[in-house]
Amino acid sequence: MASRKAAVREQGTADGESLEFVRAAPRVEGIVSAVGYRTSAQRPGLHIGLPSPYLTLIFSFDGPVTSGLTPQQASGPDASRTDIVLGALQQGPAYVVQPERQAGIQLAVHPLAARALFGVPAAELTGELVASGADVLGARAEAVRQRLVEEGDWADRFATLSGYLRARAAAAGRSARVRPEVAEAWAWLARHRGAGTLDGLAGHVALSPRRLTTLFRAETGVTPKQAAGLMRFEHAKAAVVRAVVRGTALDLARVAADCGYYDHSHLVRDFRRYTGASPTAWLVEECRNIQAGGHMNGEGLEP
């Protein structure tokens, strides 16, 4: 999963914050990206976890990840708390408590790889905000997490995690196969970056729209239309992030046109839906994380 030449971006700020993000090139089929993180901040707060067309797998090194569907839930007794986070495809933001110190590895996982890597289809992970990775993956996952905590080198950690996930995929074998119509439907949506019609997609895979939607949702937990919306937003977010990293002016109208939105207002509505804020308001909150490399998860986010 990793090379010892994996890039490290670090930002220090005057108020004592330290942010480190390390991106590894995935070497496991189904892993879209792998990012190691270590942050230290004087003031705890809430981080907005954004929806994406990928499942989220986090191995935390510094205690449980605490999250909720609202800021109130994340900060209250009903929050989800787990050392190994397994997140399904969500249609709205999640709120994650940021303690003074946190470290771990976050993976973006293709939803059609869920059977091979997790032993269940992605649809079985949609009952709550996040699942306990140890519950889904078994006791071995916690032993792997403990080893990751003990290892001091990012390359060693990525290698350990890579070996563990490869072994799971190999053990799954033929039982991890996904229906070819669903696999091709996802690939078609990805090629079109979330654009196109359901009728066009259904015709491409030689199924009725209703039958395709049923099969697609049974495998991924979302409909083709919902998956398309997540893909389109992912590309729009990536374009916004690249503009910040490069220090270029952000042209939201151009982003909207390039990413298949009807117009600028359609893009803004989607941003509000998926982040709870407008694009500019989201950037104000996330600018430092972006500059430090904190949004390197997912595809197409290289500067």
User: At residue 293, does pLDDT exceed 80?
Assistant: no
Q: How far apart are the C-alpha atoms of 15 and 157, rounded to whole Å?
A: 30
* pLDDT for res 287: 63
The whole-chain average pLDDT of the chain stands at 87
pLDDT band, residue 218 (cuts 50/70/90) = very high
- Dihedrals phi, psi of 98, to nearest 5 degrees: -100, 105
Q: Which two tokens stand for residue 45?
A: 């707060």
Q: Check residues 250 and 211 and name the one with the higher pLDDT.
A: 211
* pLDDT for res 250: 84
* pLDDT for res 291: 56
Query: Model-level pTM greater than 0.85?
Result: yes
User: At residue 11, does pLDDT exceed 60?
Assistant: no
Q: How far apart are the C-alpha atoms of 277 and 282, rounded to whole Å?
A: 6
According to DSSP, the β-strands at 8-12 and 101-109 are unpaired
Cβ–Cβ under 8 Å, residues 62 and 125:
no
* Matching residue, tokens 């059609």: 112
pLDDT tens column, 45-79? 888 888 999 999 999 999 999 999 999 999 999 99
* pLDDT for res 173: 86
- Comparing C-alpha atoms, which of 35, 66, 177, 222 is closest to residue 132? 66
Domain boundaries, the chain: 8-175
pLDDT tens column, 76-134? 999 999 999 999 999 999 999 988 889 999 999 999 999 999 999 999 998 778 899 99
Q: Which CATH superfamily is domain 8-175 in?
A: Jelly Rolls (2.60.120.10)
> CB neighbours of 281 closer than 8 A, spacing ≥ 6?
none
pLDDT band, residue 244 (cuts 50/70/90) = confident
> CB neighbours of 211 closer than 8 A, spacing ≥ 6?
202
Q: Check residues 173 and 204 and name the one with the higher pLDDT.
A: 204
User: At residue 182, does pLDDT exceed 80?
Assistant: yes
